[in-house]
Structure 1
Amino acid sequence: MKALNSVCVYCGSSSRVAAVHKEAAHMLGDGLARRGIQLVYGGGRVGLMGIAADAALAAGGQVVGIIPEHIQSAEIEHTGLTELHVVDSMHTRKRMMVDRADAFVVLPGGLGTLDEAFEILTWKQLGLHDKPVVIADVDGYWRPLLGLIEHTVAQGFTQPAHRALYTVVDDVDDVFAALAYEPEPTLKIPTQKL
């Protein structure tokens, strides 16, 4: 089994959300830190992003934030992180987050979270990485999205095998078991000359 040293968390920056989502972000940040796993995220101090980072820091964990200059200039960056990287663009941010992570967890969020989640799934589909992607369907939040993905499969736009690009769990407790998943090695059968 590969060592899991860092996890990139995609989640919302809104604080106007249900308490169950705030609790999930806290549990994930705390759980990562207690397992000695570094949290990599978008560098914000607000919403679920800030909650997850604060929980990890409070539990003695390491937190790496990566934030673009145009967002940092709005003064929403978290200034108490282990590392804060200010980068020139969203593209640089997303690439650096991928490079720094051994796996990805998608918590509830909005358009930015959807963008990051679909990008990381597309990159995996294209073979640009083979890292675990876990969608935490907290309180059924991602059910409509998962239904949309099934619709794309039913309509022939997504291959049924692409369901294996990600794992869906119902709560944060199940995230850690899902992250331990190792894909089966491909069995190569030697060809014989007749």
Structure 2
Amino acid sequence: MVVAKAAKAGGSKITNVFPEQLKSYNIEYKEADVFIYTKTIGERKEKMMKADAFVALPGGIGTLDEVMSAIIAKQLGVHKKPIILVNTDGFWQPLLETFKSMLKENTLKPEHLNLFTLIDSPEQLAQALSAEQGGFLDVNTRWWEK
């Protein structure tokens, strides 16, 4: 919701794709411009693939599931959209360490590390999205070489 609120404040149109099975949790972003309700989380992820970009802030298991779905879809050529992980306070470091281990074990190809961009803070988000669309990114996106 942090990204949605900031985008809304900046004048962006927000679409909320929300599974009906989560309505009772009262976690829905109610300030969206468009609401699309799905029957299941799987259907939500299908709709999510229509987004212009994927941005992941620190989150829970659902966020991890969505991040991996976006990365896999990009790996398979389903989309070529930006995937940006906002590594606030090193949140994504354990996942990155897992990827490094996968590289060492030859279960992950080095080029797959280019499927997403890692940034350190939400403040770098606009710059990162611009870079993914052909602009200039002044952050070290080659995190695996650090």
> Which residue in the other structure is 1:192 paired with?
none
1:92 to 43, 67, 74: 43
The residue aligned with 2:70 is 120
Paired AA for residue 103 in structure 2: V
Equivalent position amino acid for 1:136 in 2: V
Q: Runs (4+) of structure 1 moved beyond 4 Å?
A: none
Quote the residue 1:133 is aligned against.
Answer: 83
Larger Rg: 1
TM-score by length of 2: 0.82
Q: Which structure 1 residue ranges, 5 or more long, are not aligned?
A: 1-48, 184-194
Aligned-partner residue type, residue 77 of structure 1: E
What RMSD, in angstroms, separates the aligned Cα atoms of the two structures?
A: 1.8
Distance 1:61 1:143, change over 3 A: same
Counterpart of 1:162 (choices 106, 112, 133) is: 112
Q: C-alpha displacement at 1:160, in angstroms?
A: 0.8
In the alignment, is residue 80 of structure 1 matched against residue 20 of structure 2? no
CA distance, structure 2, for counterparts of residue 57 and residue 182 of structure 1: 20
Q: CA deviation at 1:173?
A: 2.1
In the alignment of these two chains, the number of paired residues is: 133
Match of 1:61 among 9, 12, 18: 12
CA deviation string 1:29-64 (max 9, x = no partner): xxxxxxxxxxxxxxxxxxxx2x43334334443211
* CA offset digits 1:117-151 (Å, max 9, x no partner): 01110111111111111111011111111111111
| Percent identical residues | 36
1:90-140 CA-partner distances (Å, limit 9, x unpaired): 1111111111x1111111001011000011101111111111111110111
The 3 A distance-change label for structure 1 pair 168 and 156 is: same
CA distance in 2, matches of 1:80, 1:174: 24
The 2-side partners of 1:81 and 1:182 are apart by 24
Structure having greater relative contact order (Cα 8 Å, sep ≥ 6): 1
Q: Letter of the aligned partner of 1:158 in structure 2?
A: L
